[in-house]
Amino acid sequence: MAKTAPLRLLAQDADDLAVISAAMQDAVAKVGDIAYEAKARRLTIGFNRYRWEAGGGQRVRSGLQLGGVLKVQTRKIRRGARDAILEVLALTFEPGDAPGGMVTISCSGGGDLRAAVECVDAVLADLSEPWPTPREPVHGD
């Protein structure tokens, strides 16, 4: 397996967020690993991220944090099911009143998490050493 440095990515616009989206594809999280702090305007999610950049075959514990979050909504995500697993398909940004808009985390099964943000302010950081996984994500047609 290829040895690559831990990811530390910062997004301040939609193009930057697309880079984080690519790194987050096939990441998995438990619903209980989603934390929204309304007073701090911060959304933090812990993921087990598939390391495509390392040639696959590894996962790593990663954290995604969005700043300037005004509101969080979910669709087809049972917030009370703390052990339910979400698999990330993509992160996208829909502009609203500049520089704000909506960051959407789309998940397999049709669920999504939407965060109204003052501006794009996202950080993705690997938090652990990678570990081997025999299961490569499979994408259906």
- Residue-range domain boundaries for the chain: 8-129
Task: Read off the pLDDT band of 56 (50, 70, 90).
Answer: confident
- Going by the DSSP 8-state scheme, the letter that residue 79 receives in this structure is T
97-131: pLDDT as tens digits: 999 999 999 999 999 999 999 999 999 999 999 99
Q: Do 81 and 14 meet the contact criterion of CB atoms below 8 Å apart?
A: no
71-100: pLDDT as tens digits: 999 999 998 999 999 999 999 999 999 999
Q: Do 32 and 26 meet the contact criterion of CB atoms below 8 Å apart?
A: no
Kindly report whether the global pTM for this prediction surpasses the value 0.85.
yes
